[in-house]
Amino acid sequence: IFDNPVLGSHYAAQEIARLILEKQAQQLPCVLGLATGSTPISLYKELVRLHREEGLSFHNVITFNLDEYYPLPKAAIQSYYSFMYRHLFSHVDIDPLNIHIPDGSLPKEAVKQYCQQYEQWIEQAGGIDLQVLGIGNNGHIGFNEPGSSIFSKTRLVTLDNSTRMANARDFQNISQVPRLAVTMGISTILKAKRVLLLAWGNKAPVVARSVEGHVTEQVPASILQQHNDCTFIVDTLAAAELT
């Protein structure tokens, strides 16, 4: 629990930087799973600072983003593809060939096979070393909405109305928010060797349900209680309802 999101983000950035350097020392790739949304923006800002001011290189980093709206062209300013370049990838020395973001612009008949391919790419990279997550007010992780199976893999999903409402801030109005998304599954996330979930501000009720409530598919983040190396990094506001 940190006093504010900046301190929590710095802590997360330090852990990620340590892992990248450790892998570099062993001449191994460092495979990161990444999230979008408002929560990780301060984390990416600190990683960019570490690159610019402290020489942290991303040359051995391979990334897999959690999710993308469907359908949405990559070039749309609301796409998670655009988000990642705006906040991180354009500012560090990552090899563009090492970046994987679910493609929200494929024809529908191609999506299923693409999702299987995405899972294979993760496996071929050696699995995710560290997965960064945010959390939705309904407990979603990635776009795995309440009711998602613990066995779910990367797939096309329907967004909850509450998710579309929360994300309408990035669009002209709610009718513009895509109804579908491609997301890594719960099982994909659980396979990551280490998980960092970040939550700030008004997430206190769902943080408490996830950490202290029953493990249930109705609160997807609660399933992380069964992961053996998961840390929730929260600020005092988001921690307010923990007992």
DSSP string, 19-78: HHHHHHHTT--EEEEE--SSTTHHHHHHHHHHHHHH----TTEEEEESEEEES--TTSTT
Q: Coil, strand, or helix at residue 99?
A: strand
Tell me which stretch binds ligand F6R (CB under 6 A): 95-103, 104-112, 136-144, 212-220: 136-144
Least Cβ distance, residue 95 to ligand F6R (angstroms): 22
Q: What is the DSSP letter of 176?
A: G
* Residues between 66 and 125 with contacts to ligand F6R, criterion CB under 6 A: 66-67
Among 35, 177, 189, 221, binds ligand F6R (CB under 6 A): 35
- On the CB side of 55, how many CA atoms lie within 13 Å of its CA? 0
Taking the least distance from each CB to ligand F6R, the nearer of 136 and 185 is 136
Backbone φ and ψ for 158, nearest 5 degrees, come out as -95, 130
Q: What is the DSSP letter of 235?
A: B
Tell me which stretch binds ligand F6R (CB under 6 A): 84-92, 119-127, 128-136, 146-154: 128-136
Among 136, 178, 185, 220, binds ligand F6R (CB under 6 A): 136
Based on the shown chain and the rule CB under 6 A, indicate whether residue 5 belongs to the binding site for ligand F6R: no
Q: With the CA atoms of 56, 60, 66 and 71 taken in that order, what torsion angle do they form, in degrees rounded to the nearest 10?
A: 100
Least Cβ distance, residue 221 to ligand F6R (angstroms): 9
Based on the shown chain and the rule CB under 6 A, indicate whether residue 222 belongs to the binding site for ligand F6R: no
Tell me which stretch binds ligand F6R (CB under 6 A): 55-63, 137-145, 150-158, 209-217: 137-145
- Is residue 53 part of the annotated active site? The answer reads no
Q: Tell me how far apart the alpha carbons of residues 57 and 41 are, in angstroms, rounded to a whole number.
A: 19
Do residues 156 and 184 make contact, with C-beta atoms less than 8 angstroms apart?
Answer: no
Based on the shown chain and the rule CB under 6 A, indicate whether residue 131 belongs to the binding site for ligand F6R: no
Based on the shown chain and the rule CB under 6 A, indicate whether residue 196 belongs to the binding site for ligand F6R: no
Tell me which stretch binds ligand F6R (CB under 6 A): 6-14, 37-45, 208-216, 231-239: 37-45
* Residues between 146 and 175 with contacts to ligand F6R, criterion CB under 6 A: none
Q: Tell me how far apart the alpha carbons of residues 195 and 191 are, in angstroms, rounded to a whole number.
A: 9
Name the strand (E) or helix (H) holding 124.
helix 108-124
Q: Catalytic site residues?
A: 145
Residues in touch with ligand F6R (CB under 6 A): 35-39, 66-67, 134-136, 140-143
